Amino acid sequence: MKVTTAKLSGFCFGVKNAVSAAEAVCESETDGKPLALLGEIVHNDLVVNKLRSSGYVVYDKAEDVPDGAIVIIRAHGVAPEQIAVLESKGCDVRDMTCPFVSKIHKIVREAAEGGRNIIVTGAKGHPEVVGFCAEADPYNVKVAVISAPEELETLDFPVDSAILVSQTTFSSNTFKKICQKIENKIEKKYVFDTICNTTESRQREAEDLSGISDSMLVIGSSHSSNTNKLFDICKGRCVRSFLVNSALEVRELIAEGKILPGDKVGITAGASTPEAIILEVVQEMNEDEKMTNQEQLDSEFANAVDALAQIRRGAVVKGTITSADADYVYVDVHDKSEGRIARKEFESDPDFDLDKAIEEHAEVTVKVRSIKNSDQGKEIILSKNDIEAEKGRAEIEEAFNNKTPIDVKITRTVKDGLIGTYKGVDIYIHRTQIKSGDVKDLAPYVGQTLDIRVTKFDTEKNRLRISGSHRQIASEERAKKAAEIWDNIEEGKRYKGTVRSVVAFGAFIDIGGVDGLVHASELSWSRNAVPSEILKVGDEVEVYVKSFDKETKKISLGYKKLEDDPYYNIEERIPLGSIVRGTVVRLTNFGAFVQLEPDLDALCHVSQISSTHLEKPDLVLSVGQEVQAQVTEIDTERRRISISIKAVAPIDPEIPEAPAAEEAPAVEEAPVEEAPAANEEA
């Protein structure tokens, strides 16, 4: 059988550092201090049991660790308060948290300080996830851990209020689907692809290898998150994929006929799997083709020499785009460490689809700017713009010498103009060289492509200065079009034009190199039309020539359309004798104007309102009142319509009732005095 082992197998950088640190403590003087692991240092029983036999005790909580102990913090990291507890106990803390995990701690902490909620893609309860989620505990923010795109719907806070980070060993494919789900909901600066580059490369390599293998072995513990993800990936490409933890399990698979003698066997291993187990499995599979240790060393040395010959400062190499974060795009350049390119190099090219390039592992030619060794491994700094810029500069210089136009993509604005890019080379375009006339707003040009003539190519003082002009080309083209229009212009000819400016008395329309005026009276059939309410600068319109003068270079244009005339086809729409409804819009001494349609008024003479004589219409009508009337006359030449309210339902004034006759007041009779008796004394 043919056996192929993935290059990226076994301990990752972070795990290797943590295990090495723990082993180094055992070899040093500990002065009798207790040795402690805060959580299992790696998801592998062989490694953990070996450390236990060296004197280490595994503790789940910092509170349980003995005072003064030497404590190894595993690569997964822990919650900040756990470190504080250990320090309060006087422990000698050896923090071996993976640098990539530490970076996530910092991102979460700073976001929480700023009041943003936290979304984490990963496994709930995983030590790594628990550790950096705890960074948000002191702040009044919410934290959600999800593992699938549909879980975004269950959040109890708005997506746009959060940042997105990921467990370093999370599935890169699932993370991309989640990113697609939140696209345009969270700003890019708040989305952090914190999946470890090695993890993603390991997953991709496993996917490729399992796709060409008859059977696939994934070596590692079933308790390891990254190992399980590798197994899931392999199962998706190779039906006979097996998760094993030792050579003995491989021997059983062969004995049971699950791995066949003629198989192409692929082998990969999780980041928690020690090299000894991988080597044991490989030796089991290659019983008849074992490579001696010296041969293996020779092979590895030869591969290293080949890589060094290619990956050197200033070298031009080809690689494949694998992933990206907020700052960098990562490229596999066939070295143990991936190279990285500043993300802004891709963002300066609006036509480049980075997401698609990552998905398809697009090939890219790059230049090696520098190679540095750091605590996190080898740092390979690459640039694609350097390659393109060298070609671009040569082509720009040729265009300058030959005065030939080139197309540039406008990428940004500066104080007095625009910056366009041509194959990675920036070209300055002053605002006066964009077009004829003053350009007040530069922002709309960003993202556009302009054809320019290179007007300056200066290499003095070892600094390249390039300037260009679109105005020169536009002016030449406009002059050609203008000459063509004046040669062929005639009254009634129709043109498609663009509104150049709008003034109180009309609008100037560019009909292709020549401006013509549409007077305000020609913009609309409405008597009170305001030009700025009808047309805006930049509008595309269809106009026709009313008149022109070649000597004065003036053109009068028409814009309003016959079918928009309120009197167009009026006798069919409102036949003579028909009953119409309308609203009183104006009253005069001689009658009332009634609006039948927008911009279509009819006159009802005062004599046609009431069945009785009226002195003035306002005795029975008021503005805003709805009335019914009959059409009595239509004069299309004079643009007049007459109607009669009286013919349908006359509106008569109310006649007040005469007051009743008043009754004469009753007269009281005066009392009659009786005559005094005759014998009464005076």
Q: Reduce the DSSP state of residue 373 to 3 states and report it.
A: strand
pLDDT in tens, 63-81: 999 999 999 998 888 988 9
- Tell the burial category of 89 from Cβ atoms under 10 Å away from its Cβ (0-12, 13-18, 19+): middle
Q: What type of residue is 459?
A: T
Q: What is the pLDDT of residue 479?
A: 84
The DSSP result for 182-196, as a single string, is TTTTS-GGGB---S-
Give the separation between CA 682 and CA 677, rounded to whole angstroms. Answer: 10
Dihedral of CA 12/13/14/18: which sign?
positive
Edge-first strand order for the sheet with 35-38 is 56-59, 35-38, 70-73, 92-95
pLDDT per position as a tens digit, 336-367: 678 899 988 887 676 788 888 888 888 988 88
How many Cβ atoms are within 10 Å of 194's Cβ, its own excluded?
24
pLDDT of residue 522: 82
Which class is 197-290 in CATH?
alpha beta
Of the chain, the percentage scoring pLDDT greater than 90 comes to 32
Which long-range CB contacts under 8 A does 89-92 form with residues at least 24 apart?
89/62, 89/65, 91/36, 91/65, 91/67, 92/33, 92/68
Architecture field, domain 489-560: Beta Barrel (2.40)
Exposed (0-12), middle (13-18) or buried (19+): which is 677, by Cβ within 10 Å? Answer: exposed
Q: Could you say which DSSP state residue 657 is in? A: P
pLDDT tens digits for 575-619? 999 999 999 999 999 999 999 988 889 999 999 999 998 989 999
Q: Is the pLDDT of residue 290 over 70?
A: no
Residue type, 3: V
**Can you state the percent helix, strand and coil of the chain, rounding each to 5?**
35, 30, 40
- From CA 254, how far away is CA 650, in angstroms rounded? 108
Q: Is 237 helix (H, G, I), strand (E, B) or coil?
A: helix
Helices (H), 336-410: 344-347, 354-360, 385-402
Phi, psi (degrees; rounded to nearest 5) at 456: -150, 130
Q: What is the CATH number of domain 11-95?
A: 3.40.50.11270
pLDDT at residue 265, rounded to an integer: 92
pLDDT digit string, tens, across residues 68-116: 999 999 888 898 899 999 999 999 999 988 888 889 999 999 999 999 9
User: Could you tell me where in the chain the CATH 3.40.1010.20 domains are found?
Assistant: 102-190, 197-290
Q: Is the pLDDT of residue 624 over 90?
A: yes
Q: Catalytic: which of 128, 205, 207, 345?
A: 128
Residue 622 has pLDDT above 90, yes or no: yes
pLDDT surpassing 60 at residue 373: yes
Bigger pLDDT: 521 vs 499: 499
- Number of Cβ within 10 Å of residue 518's Cβ equals 28
What pTM value is reported for the model?
0.41
Q: Is 464 exposed, middle or buried (0-12, 13-18, 19+ CB in 10 A)?
A: middle
**Cα separation, 557 vs 479, whole angstroms:** 20
Strand order in the sheet with 2-5: 2-5, 264-269, 215-219, 241-244
Query: How far, CA to CA in Å, does 310 sit from each of 231, 315, 323, 368?
Result: 33, 7, 22, 10
Rounded-to-integer distance, Cα 592 and Cα 584, Å: 7
The rounded percent of the chain whose pLDDT value lies above 70 is 91
Q: Cα separations (Å) of 529 from 405, 516, 566, 640? A: 44, 19, 14, 20
Please tell us whether the domain made up of 102-190 is placed in CATH 1.10.10.10: no
Burial of 416 (0-12, 13-18, 19+ CB in 10 A): exposed
Which CATH number is correct for 309-383, 3.20.20.70, 1.10.10.60, 3.90.170.10, 2.40.50.140?
2.40.50.140
Instruction: List the structure tokens of 626.
Output: 């709805």
Portions of the chain given CATH number 2.40.50.140: 309-383, 387-474, 489-560, 570-644
- Strand duo 70-73 + 92-95: pairing: parallel
Residue 293 predicted with pLDDT over 60: no
Q: How many residues does the chain have?
A: 682
464 or 228, which is more confident?
Answer: 228
* Structure-block tokens of residue 384: 């694609």
| Residue 519 contacts residue 555 (beta carbons within 8 Å) | no
CATH class of 387-474: mainly beta
Q: How far apart are CA 639 and CA 525, in angstroms?
A: 12
Listed residue (630, 625, 624, 626) closest to 642, CA to CA: 630
Closest by CA to 182, choosing from 201, 162, 156, is: 162
* Helical spans, DSSP H, in 549-665: 570-573
List the beta bridge partners of residue 37.
58, 72
∠ Cα 112 114 115 (to 5°): 65
Residue pair 73/93 in contact (Cβ under 8 Å)? The answer is yes
Locate 192 and state its tokens. Answer: 């952090």
3-state secondary structure of 263: coil
Give dist(CA 615, CA 595) in Å, integer: 22
Residues 254-265 have pLDDT tens digits of 888 888 888 899
What's the first-to-final CA gap in the chain, in angstroms?
172
Per DSSP, the residues of 276-311 read HHHHHHHHHHTTTSPPPHHHHHHHHHHHHHHHHHHS
Output the pLDDT for position 305. 41
Q: Count the neighbouring beta carbons within 10 Å of the beta carbon of residue 198.
A: 21
**Residue 187 designated active-site:** no
* Closest CA relative to residue 472, chosen from 575, 550, 394, 403: 403
pLDDT of residue 666: 52
Regarding the domain delimited by 570-644, which CATH topology (the fold level of the hierarchy) does it fall under?
OB fold (Dihydrolipoamide Acetyltransferase, E2P) (2.40.50)
- Residue 547 in contact with residue 492, Cβ under 8 Å? no
pLDDT at 288 over 80: no
Backbone φ and ψ for 165, nearest 5 degrees, come out as: -130, 170
The answer on pLDDT for 201 being more than 70 is yes
